Structure formats: C-alpha cells, structure tokens
Chains A and B, each alone.
Chain A
Amino acid sequence: MKKNIGMLLIVALLVIAVATYTKQQMAKDRELEINESLLGKAMDLNYKQTGLRKGDTPPDFTLTTVDGEEVTLSDYKGKKVILNFWASWCPPCKAEMPHMQKYYEKKAKEQNFEILAVNLTSEEKGDRLVEKFLQSYGITFPVPMDEDGSLAKTYQVITIPSTFILNTDGQIEHSIIGPMNEDLLETYVEGIN
C-alpha cells in the first residue's frame, strides 16, 4: 500500500490547486461584474481604505530635489516610476542605492522608467550629509527632499526603505518594504505596463 501514498498526495494536491484556481477566477469575475455595474469611481467609497493599495493612484506631489530642481510626480505619467523613500542614516537604504544607480544607468531608457528617491530630509542630521552621500555614490536620478516629513506621512511610510512601483498610468503596481538589488528591481519593473 505504501507505494501509492506519494501518488495519492500528488493527486490530492493537484485537485486542491485546480479548485483554488477556479475559486480565484470566479472571485475575479464577480469583482469585474460589480465594478461594471457601479459607476466608475463611486466604487472607491465602498472600500475601507487602509493605506495605498495596488491599483490606487497615489497622491500627487511637487518637491525640490537636492539639485534644486522641482519634480512633480504626475509629470512622469507615461513612464514607470520607482518611488523610493530613504534616509542616509538607514543602512539598508544606503546598501540599496548603488543597485538602483546601476539599474538606472543600464536600463532606464530601454525599460522606460524613472527613479524618484525621496529623501526623508526632516529625519536627517544635516543637508550636507545627503549631498555628500549622493556624490560619493555617483547617484544621477532625482532625489526630492521631503523637508517637513509630510509626504512620508501621506504615503504612510513607516519602515524605510519603502518603495512603490507605479505603472505608466501612474497607478501603484507594487509596494515593497526593504532593500532590493538590481535583479529584483528589474523583475518587478519588467512585469508591469
């Protein structure tokens, strides 16, 4: 009898897999129906929003970068955006920076994305620190400064590094906590439109 235990397990697991998949698809169809039967955005009121979720358009902002230029999030529609929140006292944020820079240099044009690395300036000990850090790492993407910490609050960024990946329509596709290397960044960015 022992011979068949593994086989039975496999068949049982396959049945579970198919059932799960069918259930998922049915749930998705139902959601679509509901969305179609209600008028567009009115639907949003029915969801209890806790933080930013997939498919949300995050609040727009205009900030000044370390280089003194103004950036507005909505200007980047048509491009994918990697919206990163960081501070120079945070070791994983620092570790992530060179990876973002490398990926930016190699693939930003080809894969149509921009990196906005929002610095939590209100939590920094001095402006020079950020500038020095960026110089020593040769960072070339825009680093907007969240001087009063209000943007981090709006985006409910608690742990850093936090990263939002937005699609070309400016909607959130992924929210990620923790540092990412080049490979992971590319995997996430390539998988969206």
Chain B
Amino acid sequence: MNITAIYSIGKMSFPSPWLALVLTFILTGIILRSQFSKTASAQYSDFVLTFILVWKFSVILTDFKMVLQQPLTILYFNGGKLGVVLASLAVFVQAYRKRATFSFAASAWAIALTQSGYQIIMVLVNDNAQWIELTTLFISSIALLMVVRKPTIATLQGFMGLHFIIALLQPVALTQQLSWLLTIVATLAVVKWQKELK
C-alpha cells in the first residue's frame, strides 16, 4: 500500500501504518485472549511491548551521531525501517527463548491475525488503486480464515504463500515490504519450533 493518510493528535502527525499497527495489536490481543489462555495474549503483548520499545529507542543506534549532538533526537524520532528490523530481531530472540511454552495454534493465530489484520486496516485507511485494494482485502481475509479455521503447519505455509501474492501486487518494491518479510520469518520459525517439539 502507498501511504496516503496522515493523522494528527495535538502537535504531532503520524502516518497511517502506525494507526494500522496499533489497531492490529489491540484486536489481535483481544482475540487471542478470548480464544486461548491468558498466557497466549500475555506473551503476545510482551512481544508488542518489546517491539515498540526497541523500535522507538533504536534511534540511538541508527542515528548515534545525531543523538550525541542533540539528545532530544531520541524524543522526536524512532529507528525508522532499520529500527523495525532491530525490533523484530529483539522479538525473535525473546520468542526463541520462550518457544517451548508456545501453543502452536495460538502462534499461528497470532501471525495470521497480525499480518492479515494489518493489511486489511491499511486498505481501509489508505487510498490506493481499487483493484489492489480489493485483492488485498479479499486474499488477506481468505488467508486469515484458512489459518484460524484449521491452524496447521500446512495452512500456515499456505498463508505465507497467499501473502506473497499480495506483496507482489503492491505498488511498493518487495524488499521494502517489511510486513511480508517478517511474516515469512515468523512463519518459518514457528513451523520449525513445532517440528522440533515432535
């Protein structure tokens, strides 16, 4: 999706992906809580917290020089795209250490809800070509329903494939689509950990 919407709260503007992601995190948390144990949603919100904190403060690493010159940079900025990568790395490390405590079904739901939810909300908040919006909306919904109806390794891999198709259609280059790249990594990791358990 091209980002066409920017929102403002008070003296600050923020782009639509932030809104989409926050909504996705909240909805996913609620759904995990209602479908699975408290542990699943607690683990999910731990990851969300790690993600946001590392993303925000990674500006110290990504813009080290500027932070030294102007310490307030930490307040104004975040780590940007590199920050998202670093934040995801932190989440993966955290997840790796807790992998034995995961329920596969809950993990599959979490991945599917986060990725499909984000894509769907991005369609709703931004204004892109209609055919791109419609296919993104349609395929994301099908992929999500497929996983939540039957959370197996096969459906999760299918989910990954469907989102690859969505990624190909977007007006943004594949390598720039972090949401899709992170979905692959998360899926592969969860599938691998599940196989190890058996």
Contacts and interface: CB of A to CB of B under 8 A. Distances in A.
B124 interface: yes
A17 B80 contact: no
Interface stretch (B3-11, B153-161, B184-192): B3-11
Interface stretch (A4-12, A69-77, A110-118): A4-12
Contact of A14 (B12, B13, B70, B144): B144
A94 B144 contact: no
A17 B120 contact: yes
Given A176-B13, A188-B3, A10 B145 contact: yes
Give chain A's interface secondary structure class: helix
Contacts of A178: 11-13, 76
A10 B130 contact: no
B89 to A, nearest CB: 17
B123 A181 contact: no
A179 B76 contact: yes
B43 interface: no
A63 interface: no
Interface in B88-123: 109, 113, 120-121, 123
A191 B32 contact: no
Contacts of B31: 6, 9-10
Contact of B6 (A5, A98, A174): A174
B130 A25 contact: yes
A122 B63 CA distance: 32
Contacts of A96: 76
Interface string A36-71: 000000000000000000000000000000000000
Contacts of B145: 10-11, 14
Contact of B148 (A6, A174, A183, A191): A6
A78 interface: no
Please tell me the size bucket of the interface on B.
35 or more
Given A6-B35, A178-B12, A182-B80, A95 B73 contact: yes
B66 interface: yes
A87 B20 CA distance: 32
B6 A188 contact: yes
B80 A14 contact: no
B134 to A, nearest CB: 8
A94 B70 contact: yes
Contacts of A24: 124
Contacts of B141: 14, 17-18
Interface string A109-149: 00000000000000000000000000000000000000000
A191 B6 contact: no
Contacts of B30: 9
A156 B74 CA distance: 28
7 contacts: A9-B30, A17-B120, A17-B137, A173-B4, A176-B13, A179-B77, A184-B80
Lowest 10 A-B CB distances belong to which pairs? A6-B35, A183-B80, A191-B2, A176-B13, A5-B34, A178-B12, A181-B77, A179-B76, A177-B13, A6-B31
Interface of A: 2-3, 5-7, 9-11, 13-14, 17-18, 20-21, 24-25, 91-92, 94-96, 98-99, 159, 173-179, 181-184, 187-188, 190-192
